[in-house]
Chains A and B, each alone.
Chain A
Amino acid sequence: DARVTQTPRHKVTEMGQEVTMRCQPILGHNTVFWYRQTMMQGLELLAYFRNRAPLDDSGMPKDRFSAEMPDATLATLKIQPSEPRDSAVYFCASAQAGVYEQYFGPGTRLTVT
Chain B
Amino acid sequence: AQTVTQSQPEMSVQEAETVTLSCTYDTSENNYYLFWYKQPPSRQMILVIRQEAYKQQNATENRFSVNFQKAAKSFSLKISDSQLGDTAMYFCAFMRVTGNQFYFGTGTSLTVIP
Chain A residues at the B interface, C-beta cutoff of 8 Å: 31, 33, 42-43, 45, 48, 50, 55-56, 89, 91, 93, 95, 100-104, 106-107, 109
Nearest CB in chain A to that of B100: its residue:
A31
Contacting pair B106 A91 (CB below 8 A): no
Interface residue total, chain B, C-beta cutoff 8 A: 20
Contacting pair A106 B101 (CB below 8 A): no
B42 neighbours in A (Cβ, 8 Å): 106
Q: Is B104 in the interface zone, CB < 8 Å from A?
A: yes
Number of A-B contacts (CB under 8 A): 41
Nearest CB in chain B to that of A93: its residue:
B45
Interface string of B75-103 (1 = CB under 8 A from A): 00000000000000001000101001110
Contacting pair A103 B47 (CB below 8 A): yes
Contacting pair A42 B104 (CB below 8 A): yes
Nearest CB in chain A to that of B42: its residue:
A106
A48 neighbours in B (Cβ, 8 Å): 100-101
